[in-house]
Amino acid sequence: MSTQRSEFTARYLVESSLPMERVAETIAGEQSSGTFMALPGETDELKQRSRARVTRIVELESVTEPSLRSAFLQRHGGSDNFNRAEIEIAFPVDNVGANISTLLATVAGNLFELGEVTGLRLLDIDMPSDYAKRFSGPKFGIQGTRLMAGVHGRPMIGTIIKPSIGLSPQQTAEIVDSLCAADIDFIKDDELMADPPYAPFDERLKAVMPVIQKHADRMGRKPMYAINISGSIDEMLSRHDAVLAAGGTCVMVSVNWVGFSAVEHLRRQTQLPIHAHRNGWGALTRHPQLGFSFTAYQKIWRLAGIDQLHVNGIRSKFWEPDDSVIASAKSCHTDFAGVQPVMPVFSSGQWAGQAPDLFQKLGSTDLMHLAGGGIIGHPGGIAAGVMSMREGWEAAISGVSLESYAHSHPSLQGALAQFGAA
Amino acid sequence: MSTQRSEFTARYLVESSLPMERVAETIAGEQSSGTFMALPGETDELKQRSRARVTRIVELESVTEPSLRSAFLQRHGGSDNFNRAEIEIAFPVDNVGANISTLLATVAGNLFELGEVTGLRLLDIDMPSDYAKRFSGPKFGIQGTRLMAGVHGRPMIGTIIKPSIGLSPQQTAEIVDSLCAADIDFIKDDELMADPPYAPFDERLKAVMPVIQKHADRMGRKPMYAINISGSIDEMLSRHDAVLAAGGTCVMVSVNWVGFSAVEHLRRQTQLPIHAHRNGWGALTRHPQLGFSFTAYQKIWRLAGIDQLHVNGIRSKFWEPDDSVIASAKSCHTDFAGVQPVMPVFSSGQWAGQAPDLFQKLGSTDLMHLAGGGIIGHPGGIAAGVMSMREGWEAAISGVSLESYAHSHPSLQGALAQFGAA
């Protein structure tokens, strides 16, 4: 098909008992101009303009058990051979326009429910840069985040306010005070904490911001506090404004639940970096033959305009293999159609000990490294906890082993003694 | 634990190689006041106020293969026995408040990623009605939808504009004209169709609404056209207003992609029923040990304020077993904490033939029954297609077999001949 139309592509991992060519054509049809009725005269023009096309099929090894059940396939006879393939489909840009919900309805949408497939995962998307430009994209990204926090040449060391929920505004301010006294770079709310009656958003902000300002005056840079503003559209906008007015430098949002249109709306008006908490993401990715790869996921959120995105941690408390975590972080750094990179945020079960592997595997310090227990549970206290994280990264960057570096760095020594056996 | 606090509950299907009591306590801790640090004085008060509690564990049969992999469990020794259980957790209402994104961060959130579990699915949620009242809820629901469409005592018969994408405004208007001439009750846009350059939203609306108005004058009731307004917050609000001003009676949204905060925002200002298209839902539900049950999903969307929600169809082109489809529709009808029911929308592979089974299994006519090919592909044309759907339901409601009823109803006869063998 020769065509001058501008296209974006989606790549899938597909499993089906049917021939892969047929499945690929079904997908292309369903997600564009499928289910045709004859229209006088216009049919060819319509097809030329709107029909998606299959651009690649790479057959993989087949399996004998379906990954996901399909009542449709069972009604049509069942099978004991399920083909797998990577397929790529090209869609006309004009089918969608600069509309994330329609982009997702097109590249994902009903596909996961197709009776013909026993597995379907969106592996990647790609698009021309002049199409990507029509979306907002990150306003701050990695460089803007670093500028705002005054942290350069090393990772941003951070933590999460714990307990997750239950602290009064005054208790929160006291913890923030201890963390800032330790020269921390970054603090975030827990995603469970938004606006409870015993610690309303406004009161927390009022209690916390003077503490941060006090330390900023002392430190010559302002610790970045990602305050959870998740809520209704009006709440998020007014909370963004309140954070800004109070001198805050970041807002956090549970992106999967407030959704793409809400984040885009916030992005258009934000004057602060958007810290994207991906809680819920596991439901979309944990089965390898279903849902979304992180590569595709982070691209779509970059289009929507987030600046920082969670990627779990290596040797974390979560299910995810370390290789997958590293691949996620790398994808946040990778160029995508001219859309600027976002800051990967490592957390869960983190302490100074992961620094060398992170640096070696990632080859970059453009990241946030968040430790909860790894800072607060340090035997020398919070200040030693933060220091141990920084020392871990100093060792990693200078290529010295943690054990050697710890000889002259007691905070790191304490961390190794406390967390190193685990 | 004796307590006066108001609570909502979440019920899960969980799989883990660890003892289920421990997993349940981990979940309750992680999703409330977990990862404790000692706070002078306040700890007991905090626990009493904010800690979630495990209220029920029902052990199920264990399995020998994990449903989902966990690098965390593998690092900690692996297993060849994976326990399954249904567990229920009670959360304090005050942890969350009337905030859907925080409700989801709490009952779902990071749980899907827990290293301890090899399966986790949110089966159901429940809450006191005075908590549910704090959310918007449906503005129209089933009764409001029926009033707006002037259809009572039978299902609303509808169709989807096809091809999915590619039609000009004029072509769309011509198809709408044919459908309305057949006295159809309901028409919806395809979810792929939003605002393409060859058929901009405004022009489609301008072309279509006079056609609908013309037929409304003739019919004495106005066919309901669910126009896809999915897009940015500003686009959705202005398109809602445009639909309203043009005399339209429904708006459609791809709810998973615009997201909860966007739908809530629309709900607060809408003067039209919200037709919730759930494309993408398969990614959240298709693996039986992961994600969400439809029961939980529809409850949360009811809180957000949708009025009509897709449930697939029986004997459809999708993967879903018929029993699951029926259970979904029933859950839309079921009382939930005083939040009004929503209209289930059956579609995909539908024609008159499913009417008797639908009616028998659902015991209700409160539904939309959408047929694409089952109307447009009828050998007697569109008018006969619509008539055949209505006749199918007349037969179903009066308890006469389709075959008998078809003797005196040629449209149904034609449908049986065309689609009955499939």
Contact state of A104 with B257 under an 8 Å Cβ cutoff: yes
Could you tell me if B269 lies within 8 Å of chain A, comparing CB atoms?
no
- Specify the 3-state DSSP secondary structure of B67: coil
User: A123, A21, A112: which is closest to A68 by C-alpha?
Assistant: A112
- Specify the 3-state DSSP secondary structure of B232: coil
Handedness of CA B71, B76, B80, B86 (dihedral sign): negative
Could you tell me if B28 lies within 8 Å of chain A, comparing CB atoms?
no
Q: Determine the straight-line distance between the first and last CA of chain A, rounded to whole angstroms.
A: 59
Reported confidence tier of residue A40, pLDDT bands at 50, 70, 90:
low
Query: What residues in B contact A291, CB-CB < 8 Å?
Result: 283
Could you tell me if B203 lies within 8 Å of chain A, comparing CB atoms?
no
Instruction: Give the distance from residue A371's alpha carbon to the nearest chain B alpha carbon, in angstroms.
Output: 12
DSSP designation for B198: T
- Nearest CB neighbour to B194, from listed A102, A280, A319: A102
Closest residue in B to A44 (Cα–Cα): B166
Q: Which residue ranges in chain B fall short of pLDDT 50?
A: 1-2
Closest residue in B to A378 (Cα–Cα): B37
Could you tell me if A373 lies within 8 Å of chain B, comparing CB atoms?
yes
Closest residue in B to A50 (Cα–Cα): B166
Contact state of B233 with A37 under an 8 Å Cβ cutoff: no
Instruction: Give the distance from residue B132's alpha carbon to the nearest chain A alpha carbon, in angstroms.
Output: 16
Q: Which pair of tokens denotes residue A89?
A: 């489909």
- Nearest CB neighbour to A191, from listed B35, B109, B373: B109
Give pLDDT tens digits for A204-260: 999 999 999 999 999 999 999 999 999 999 999 999 999 999 999 999 999 999 999
Contact state of B194 with A101 under an 8 Å Cβ cutoff: yes
Could you tell me if B282 lies within 8 Å of chain A, comparing CB atoms?
yes
Q: What is the mean pLDDT of chain A?
A: 95
Other Cβ atoms less than 10 A from the Cβ of B106: the count is 26
Contact state of B32 with A262 under an 8 Å Cβ cutoff: no
Instruction: Give the distance from residue A48's alpha carbon to the nearest chain B alpha carbon, in angstroms.
Output: 9
Is the separation of the CB atoms in A375 and A159 below 8 Å? Answer: yes
Reported confidence tier of residue A36, pLDDT bands at 50, 70, 90:
low
Give pLDDT tens digits for B229-264: 999 999 999 999 999 999 999 999 999 999 999 999
Contact state of B191 with A284 under an 8 Å Cβ cutoff: no
Instruction: Give the distance from residue B125's alpha carbon to the nearest chain A alpha carbon, in angstroms.
Output: 16
Closest residue in A to B312 (Cα–Cα): A113
Query: What residues in B contact A258, CB-CB < 8 Å?
Result: 101, 259-261
Tell me the pairing of strands A156-160 and A53-63: unpaired
Query: What residues in A contact B260, CB-CB < 8 Å?
Result: 257-259, 262
Per-residue pLDDT, A45: 80
| CA–CA distances in Å: residue B324 to residues A165, A249, B308 | 37, 47, 18
Per-residue pLDDT, B2: 45
Per-residue pLDDT, A2: 45
Instruction: Give the distance from residue B169's alpha carbon to the nearest chain A alpha carbon, in angstroms.
Output: 13
Give pLDDT tens digits for A306-340: 999 999 999 999 999 999 999 999 999 999 999 99
Contact state of A232 with B99 under an 8 Å Cβ cutoff: yes
Is the separation of the CB atoms in A14 and A85 below 8 Å? Answer: yes
